[in-house]
Structure 1
């Protein structure tokens, strides 16, 4: 077991930590943009070839216009806060896909997809901005790279457990492996929920910076909750916070988001 402890300490000593701008959360990320962005751009291009882009001009134009405005706000913030190299690496693109799935996502580097199925939940331009801000925030905070880093650490931890218990009985090894599997799995779920809450808050700031009405962010989740009525499992076993907790958090964070948006916009103008 001493070897196990020593190996774990070595892992954490060499893990690179950084801070998410605005929220100040410490994150573990050792996956660089140079490693992930080329693959992200290629995957996005392939996705567009394999899926039908919507021919609804009004909805498409709305998604693209809102995306452009949110991205401009994020770009201004990054360039004003010493993140010019990162800002230059983004290749913003916004597309609406003909699909009934209620979903939207943003790949590392600013490649965004909305499905037509989420547009009724957005309901209006401010709703589109709320979803757009949330998805763009995932890329801004490098949640994808962080999840990749966490996955690699989870694999290393599994190896460490195997090495640390190699001299133990088979039953003892099974107990340690099971405990590690459950513990690390719940830990990954918690990280995912943390990412979602952080993207909610960052997205709220970004949409207000871009001139949209922040109160609509919580209303998106009110509509989502109405659409997905039914029993839910416990939040601890979910990758996402409950709709109810998101609504409450967005409403309580709104005054802070407004203050931050005003602060950042005034700084950018000076």
Structure 2
């Protein structure tokens, strides 16, 4: 794993940090590979939630182009060979994922947020498309995100003008989940990840898959409802489903273990 990526695991929560603050966590090939390794290690550890954040003044300013010669730039190898597979890996992570974003959240850095389940942003974060000044175009899923949430006119306005939205403005526009004062966003995100790690993991993963179908396949209401029905029936065989009902009926707080269907009950769960 790259030294510019750190991974810690505590109480079922993986915390991954982008750790190249001197260059605003701009992402070169080695850092992308290190990030992929960190996600693979966290998945292998069967964590029940994951938190991604950046060290220093920014979440990520995007691609590290400090040493790139545009005359022989392998942009397809970078975007198609490294970035796109990483974002797919992040999106498919087998647990709820959270990101805490502050400062610059641009380009590939924005893509990391798009590939995360829940994103909390600092009120002063900077989000948008700065590429008008580079002769390049928005990448890493940015067009899809902005068009879906903002529509064509506002998306192209951001692209043509290179205007950056604040974190508070981005949340108000529906781009991300919640905004917080800059000095509170990381702890708020950490608390949300910790809480999710104590939840019914299989039920969360079911919702994650249902949302993916709505987003990627554009399924309609009735198809989605049928998928929900099948998913709910499958969850009936999970220990957490039975625990949740028992806790409700017994008027106590549930103890979820996150197990899949057919798994043994969590040892700390009341029987």
Report TM bin, short chain. under 0.3
Query: TM-score when scaled to structure 1?
Result: 0.26
By relative contact order (CA 8 Å, sep 6+), the higher-ranking structure is 1
